[in-house]
Amino acid sequence: MIWEILLLLVSILMLVFALYSRQQSLSSQEKCREIQSALDRETAERQRLEQALRQTEQRFEQIMDNIPLALYIREPIRDTSATYMSRAYEKLWEQPRQQLYSNSRAWLEPVHPDDLPKVNHAIEHSYATHIPIDTEFRIVHQNGTIRWVHLQNFHINPDAAGKPERVVGIIADITERRSAEQDRIKLGVEQERNQFLRQLISTISHDFRTPMTTINTNTYLLKRALDNESHRQRLTVIEQQVQRIDKLLEDTLTMMKLDGNVQLDRLPTDLNLMMRELEPDIRAIMERKHQLFTFEPSHDALPVRIHQERVGQAIMYLVENASQFSGEGQPIAISTVCRAGFAVVEVRDNGIGIAPDDLPHIFEPFYRSDQSRSTRTGGAGVGLTIAKRVADLHQGQIQVESTVGQGSTFRVLLPMMLEVNQPS
């Protein structure tokens, strides 16, 4: 009986042990599954974060690759070389950016020799004082091309001593800006020079007028007092040369006044009426050489907005030019017409004409195709220059056609107004 009870107890204990062992096995498997599931979730999250990081890096690279500024990042606490340099550096410096990761001073190699001391000083000063760099200098490419750049950096998270945890720098190509600054400086110098010349010519012209008037007056009086014809002829030559000098000064002064950004006060005018007012002066010029003058006005009104004095002056220069290079008694025809929205004044002569090689230069100041002839006939060589400048200031133009031995035709084109209100 006792043995049966013992066997029963042993059987019960074995059954309990088997049940306990099975329960432990199930718990371990469940725990393994939970651990594996956790590992799978962590791996997936890590892969997601890595993918997001790669996408962020790609977007950053795309942004940096499409801006003209070269961006660099450096961590001076850990290393002196660059930890990042954008691709724009390669285009600007024309050298690979990878070398900067091992040699922090590789970017100094193309710096212009004259600017290198300044750049080195800026770097040393920044290291010593922890003050950001802000400087401009030149770099020289291998083909000799010179570019101006502006370097500026920023210090991130400086420590108690001022040493930054990270330095972020921007390098910009400022070649065009520097070129524009140089152009402005040159323009300013040129404007000052022109202003000085205008003042000088104005002063000389004013100072010359008094003695020239005195010479002219005394010449006139001497001609009346002398009976000797030979002496009177010499005085006439003196009188003509005085008048020539006076006109030269006047023409040069006019050209200087019209130089630069001058603004003309323009008023509505009928070009036909203005030409009628110029007729007496035109006929006076023609009478010097007994030349035949005809004027054929447009049948319709030619309303223009002009500075009447300056436009009249320009036309008179063309008339004088036609008369000067035409022979005694030759005809000179002037006409006005409306053409393609322009009021046109045309001056035609049958004079000596202009050689094809001279045509591109006739509007240049002081240009003379025949020095000996211009010396005999007088003139400063600026009449056509002034006429063209007046046309340009009115948004117009001057056209010329010429054949050697047959004559020339000059046309002044002025923009027409839609309507003009004449004073009653």
- Number of Cβ within 10 Å of residue 218's Cβ equals 12
Is residue 421's pLDDT more than 50?
A: no
In contact, 397 and 414? CB cutoff 8 Å: no
Q: Which residues pair with 269 in a beta bridge?
A: 304
Q: Strand (E) positions, 31-163?
A: 70-74, 82-85, 134-140, 146-158
Q: Which residues pair with 402 in a beta bridge?
A: 408
pLDDT of residue 422: 44
Q: How far apart are CA 170 and CA 134, in angstroms?
A: 10
pLDDT of residue 1: 59
Residues 398-409 have pLDDT tens digits of: 999 999 999 999
In contact, 392 and 260? CB cutoff 8 Å: no
Residues 293-325 have pLDDT tens digits of: 899 999 999 999 999 999 999 999 999 999 999
User: What mean pLDDT value characterizes the chain?
Assistant: 81
Residue-by-residue DSSP string for 221-284: HHHHH---HHHHHHHHHHHHHHHHHHHHHHHHHHHHHTSSS-----EEEEHHHHHHHHHHHHHH
pLDDT of residue 186: 86
pLDDT of residue 312: 94
Residues 170-201 have pLDDT tens digits of: 899 999 999 888 888 888 887 777 777 777 66
Scan for tokens 């003309």, then name that residue.
Answer: 264
With a pLDDT cut of 90, the percent of the chain lying above it is 34
Specify whether the backbone of 94 is left (phi greater than 0), alpha (psi in -120 to 50) or beta: left
In contact, 335 and 297? CB cutoff 8 Å: yes
Is residue 424's pLDDT more than 50?
A: no
